[in-house]
A and B are shown apart, each in its own frame.
Chain A
């Protein structure tokens, strides 16, 4: 089967992919004797050389602890760390830099809100509205709060395409709803949820909204002020930065009202054994020495992405997803799970009669890296009546020929195990 002619290497996005790829040393790797085809970006993305260099430059010329001493290195590290906060604030168009809290990742950011907002503002009989599409990281922390407080979870269902049913969402918003938690983009299916409309509807009823943006941050322009969400969480390592760092954006008005999450240094103004006065935001939520190098490197990743341009990235990935969707749809015995009208660069699929783990292992033999399993989204799998899927997820450095390698790999899977 030939690739459909209408998709043949049309540079719709104007993105010079080969030039971009040259920035990513790991993409030159060979796996099992084949060129690496890295299609597991929704799990974790790769770091480009300028971002890697930033880490080295920090550790070799700027490192010390922050917010502490008066010596040169401490002041430099503090300035760079706070500079990174500024870069991230600009990246998401936050109104104020102090609304950006560095966390260890999306999971940590959501747990912060569950702890600091949940334990104060959620009580017995209250309700937390989540969706079927949520990653476990946006389910379990709320389940823990609900159990502790005697609150309950309400869940927005999805249709067969994997889109949230908006009317059902509206029906779930009630006088006891204390929070809406929704993923911006489904990690398992790629569905882009109508978060702006969901936030507006919640705000009409005075309900705050947390958006899990882990899968959105690397793929589309983010604007906290336009979105008007109360909280937004995302991870560094999914946006070409390092692991161990992430961001919680929170409206200052909320963050000021919330109790600290962890106790320790940096989150205090003064401590006696009788009383501790907490620091102002963002310091209040950054107890202990933070991952300074990771935060600064994440700032460099935000710069790198901005340098390419998220509009161009989005256009390139949409083109890639359309091409991949078309190619996979042409394959008998392969079914795409998640066919929402609005999707980000995720292609979840099942091969008739073949377990996803076998698909993953056989694709690996061809150098193609996909994720197989339930993607930490078991309720999504239950909704579609499957234990697992194989998932190809794209970044701006992926190419049409890598999609072709995926398709050829799936064909081999069918030949071997069909």
Chain B
């Protein structure tokens, strides 16, 4: 069995190699750019909301493996969810990555707990969170967001951005 403390789990490597839902949705209703100026990672989240449901969500950008895998798994996790459920997952993933929510739960993260390794690597927490932070921005009609300053997802209070 894989060591859950290890960051580069096979499932993460797989999503890094073959990110799912890659590209920009042509008929997106919401869109946001996420940027981590410290490492140059940037990510575009496009999504289509229909009847307050995440009907489709795509990601595209350039980033480290952790960020890309987190983005890819995020799209799979929130697709088909209600907007409120997606926002709850944003909150839960953020709390999980920053060590405020235990992998054992209760939560709705499912396989996303594979990112448990970042909990021991504070500099990498932002890599894993950036996609979720960007999703949150998109859902709240915020065109762009960054991992720094007031917008710092590790510290910023949740709520409408």
Contact = CB atoms under 8 A, between A and B. Distances in A.
Interface string A348-381: 0000001111100110010000001110000001
A416 B39 contact: no
B121 interface: yes
Interface in B59-98: 63-66
Contacts of B13: 416-417
A373 B124 CA distance: 12
A214 interface: no
B65 A358 contact: yes
A26 B6 CA distance: 25
A416 B121 CA distance: 19
A113 to B, nearest CB: 28
A128 interface: no
A388 interface: yes
Interface in B104-161: 121, 123-124, 127
A206 interface: no
B40 interface: yes
Interface string B2-41: 0000111000010010000000000000000000001111
Contact of B65 (A381, A388, A417): A417
Given A387-B40, A388-B40, A417-B16, A357 B8 contact: no
B70 to A, nearest CB: 13
Given A387-B39, A388-B39, A388-B40, A357 B127 contact: yes
Nearest to A359: B64
Contacts of B124: 357, 361
Between B13, B40, B63, the greatest number of chain A beta carbons within 10 A of the residue's beta carbon is seen for B40
Interface string A370-400: 0011100000010000111000000000000
Nearest to A378: B37
B39 A355 contact: yes
Contacts of A386: 40
Nearest to A357: B64
Nearest to B127: A357
Between B39, B66, B123, the greatest number of chain A beta carbons within 10 A of the residue's beta carbon is seen for B39
B39 A357 contact: yes
A356 B16 contact: no
Interface residues of A, number: 17
Contacts of B6: 365
Contacts of B123: 357
B14 to A, nearest CB: 12
Contacts of B8: 358, 361-362, 416-417
Contacts of A358: 8, 64-66
A373 B65 contact: no
A417 B69 CA distance: 12
Between A355, A362, A386, A417, the greatest number of chain B beta carbons within 10 A of the residue's beta carbon is seen for A355
Nearest to A354: B65
B39 A356 contact: yes
A361 B5 CA distance: 13
A362 B38 CA distance: 19
A362 B16 CA distance: 15
Nearest to B42: A387
Interface string A141-167: 000000000000000000000000000
B39 A361 contact: no
A188 B69 CA distance: 29
Given A355-B63, A416-B13, A417-B65, A361 B38 contact: no
A381 B37 CA distance: 12
Nearest to B124: A361
B13 to A, nearest CB: 7
Contacts of A374: 38-40
A349 to B, nearest CB: 16
Contacts of A361: 7-8, 66, 121, 124
24 contacts: A354-B65, A355-B39, A355-B41, A355-B64, A355-B65, A356-B64, A357-B64, A358-B64, A358-B66, A361-B7, A361-B66, A361-B121, A361-B124, A362-B8, A373-B39, A374-B39, A386-B40, A387-B39, A387-B40, A387-B41, A416-B13, A417-B8, A417-B13, A417-B16
Given A357-B39, A357-B124, A388-B39, 15 more contacts: A355-B64, A355-B65, A356-B39, A357-B64, A357-B127, A358-B65, A361-B66, A361-B124, A372-B39, A373-B38, A381-B40, A387-B39, A387-B40, A387-B41, A417-B8
**Which 10 A-B residue pairings sit nearest by Cβ, starting from the closest?**
A387-B40, A355-B64, A357-B64, A358-B65, A358-B64, A357-B39, A388-B39, A417-B65, A388-B40, A416-B8
Interface of A: 354-358, 361-362, 365, 372-374, 381, 386-388, 416-417
